[in-house]
Amino acid sequence: MIKTTIADAINEQISKEMFSANLYLSMSAYFQSVNLAGFANWMRIQVQEETFHSMRFFDYLLARGGSPKISALAAPESKWDSPLAAFQAAYKHEQSITESINKLTDLAIKESDHATNILLQWFITEQVEEEETVNEIVEKIKLIGDFTAGIIMLDNELKTRVFTPPVIKA
């Protein structure tokens, strides 16, 4: 049976991951509204990733005898001043998720919950990838600057992203 302190913290993380999915869905709508279908696609794939993360925590809680708690979510922002501003907001958000995962890992270590610590190692590695990927796009947009053709080229690149669920070893 999972400790209540850990279960409560995981439930909070589930809510954060679901908020992430909503934020990226909102960003997808923004990009679609400014005719950047590739950027919108990239964000839709991000929605799938965040939902996958949430469900991974959800299933883990059930496997450990915990009870997932579904909570209300705050509405995410819906407008940004530019593609750069949207991706900078995404990068800042990913940094906050990394901080949350790190705190959850600290709690698992403090509570000597080795199973949760092992689960969280996957998320730690995932967050390094998440931050790196989003920051790479931020830096590309900065390099492009006001060069409209560059944004169109990046939009075409982002259009190719697909969701491939990670293979998780038990």
Q: Domains in the chain, start-ordered, CATH in brackets? A: 4-70+80-158 (1.20.1260.10)
Surface-to-core class of residue 130, CB atoms within 10 Å of its CB (0-12 exposed, 13-18 middle, 19+ buried): buried
Residues 41 and 158 sit within 8 Å (Cβ to Cβ): yes
Residues of the chain with pLDDT under 50: none
Q: What is the pLDDT of residue 168?
A: 76
pTM over 0.85: yes
Q: What is the pLDDT of residue 170?
A: 54
